[in-house]
């Protein structure tokens, strides 16, 4: 398990779990739903859990990680499970704190996801 503070918001803890971690089995229930990360909403805990196995994929870039962090922060900052709200806030975060290439990639993802 790798635990660190999110670069976009140091008040938020990032927890990366891999299959060899005891916590992975519990987190994997969420990952099996097709997500690479999730947040715990409705508590005082400000944390996101990321699938460390996904991070090992050859195609995953720093830009993808920035997008996932920003999207999960969108859930946390809005205290909402709304994917659209998380993406809007995430885009704003990547646009102001991330790289241009991450912002461009996120815009493409949002266009694809919402047909805009």
In degrees, rounded to 5, the angle at the alpha carbon of residue 112 between the alpha carbons of residues 110 and 113 is: 65
Structural domain boundaries, residue 80:
2-114
Global pTM?
A: 0.94
CATH number of the domain residue 24 falls in: 3.30.2010
Query: What's the CA gap between 37 and 52, in Å, rounded?
Result: 9
Distance CA 110, CA 45 (A): 28
Residue 41: is its pLDDT beyond 90? no
Report the domain count for the chain: 1
The number of C-alpha atoms within 13 Å of 81 and in the hemisphere containing its C-beta is 3
Residues 56-106: pLDDT tens digits? Answer: 999 999 999 999 999 999 999 999 999 999 999 999 999 999 999 999 999
């Amino acid at each position: 398990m790798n635990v660190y503070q999110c670069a976009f918001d140091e008040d938020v803890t990032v927890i990366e779990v891999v299959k060899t971690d005891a916590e992975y089995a519990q987190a994997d229930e969420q990952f099996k739903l097709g997500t690479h990360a999730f947040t715990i909403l409705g508590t005082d805990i400000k944390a996101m859990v990321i699938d460390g196995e996904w991070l090992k994929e050859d195609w995953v870039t720093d830009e993808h990680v920035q997008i996932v962090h920003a999207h999960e922060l969108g859930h946390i900052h809005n205290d909402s499970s709304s994917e659209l709200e998380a993406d809007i806030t995430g885009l704003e975060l990547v646009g102001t704190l991330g790289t241009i290439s991450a912002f461009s990639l996120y815009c493409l993802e949002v266009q694809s996801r919402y047909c805009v």
